[in-house]
Structure 1
Amino acid sequence: MSVVANPNAAPYDFPMKDVRENFPAPLLYIGWEDHLLFCAPVCLPLPPDMPFGAVGAAVLPGVYGYHPDFAKIDWATVEWTKSGQPWQPDPAKSLAENGLTHKDVIRFRTPGLHGLNGSCN
């Protein structure tokens, strides 16, 4: 079905509800590639001053830790993307210093780990 915009309609003008100020911390979407147990990235409010290294060490175990592959992750080989583009975060720098802002999307791929029993090979 096609959509037709009516140039004579009233402007679509309203206050946005998902602005940064409406959340306890900036929202960060994080997805784990090739692991279909998780159908979409998770959305987490994370403080901008949190070191990026804490995401894998302290945050993601509570989100993805029950997956059998999670304990096998070699974080030194993880491949990151930000908004679909290859990206290399610095684990010692904060989320903000790594350029992450409200509602950014990052994804990580874990070489050698391809879902339950290799289901995504």
Structure 2
Amino acid sequence: MAVKALGTYDFAPKDTVDKFPAPLLYIGWDAHKMLCAPFCVPMPPGTRFGDLVANVLPGMYSAHPDFAQINWDEVQWFDSGKPFAPDMDKTVAENGLGHKSVLRFRTPGLNGLSGSAF
């Protein structure tokens, strides 16, 4: 986050990648406010993106009734707010996601509990 300081603002950040077991990845599911904020998870850069979808996301989002209905072929992905087309066979790092990247996904046709998001 950009900071506009009135004076000198010079210090070493305390949240650099070397301070965590793996780079942090923020993951959020748009329009599904039952889980109101993105999750922040340490994600090894060598994790295959398809494994993230198949093995990590269910542990985070399967409590939501819409999760089982997701058509993963239609999901719209965003990397830090920009449309993103991940290669499921490449790693998180090969897909360009690094420390503190924000990964968001939208699920067309699934708009929150009983369509409450729209």
Report how many aligned residue pairs link the two structures.
115
Structure 1: distance between partners of 2:108 and 2:92: 23
Q: Greater Rg, structure 1 or structure 2?
A: 1
Letter in 1 for 2:36: C
TM-score (normalizing by structure 2): 0.92
1:54: Cα distance to partner? 1.1
Structure 2: distance between partners of 1:57 and 1:64: 11
Does residue 38 (structure 1) correspond to residue 35 (structure 2)? The answer is yes
SS at match of 2:26: strand
Structure 2: distance between partners of 1:41 and 1:30: 5
Q: Which runs of 5+ in 2 are unaligned?
A: none
1:104: Cα distance to partner? 0.4
The share of aligned pairs that are identical, in percent, is 57
Q: Which runs of 5+ in 1 are unaligned?
A: none
TM-score (normalizing by structure 1): 0.90
Letter in 2 for 1:34: A
Report matched runs for 1:4-23 at 5 Å: 5-6=5-6, 9=7, 11-23=8-20
Does residue 84 (structure 1) correspond to residue 48 (structure 2)? The answer is no
Structure 2: distance between partners of 1:55 and 1:112: 22
Structure 2: distance between partners of 1:87 and 1:59: 19
1:61: Cα distance to partner? 0.6
Q: 1:5 to 1:109 in 2, by over 3 A?
A: closer
Q: 1:22 to 1:119 in 2, by over 3 A?
A: same
Does residue 114 (structure 1) correspond to residue 111 (structure 2)? The answer is yes
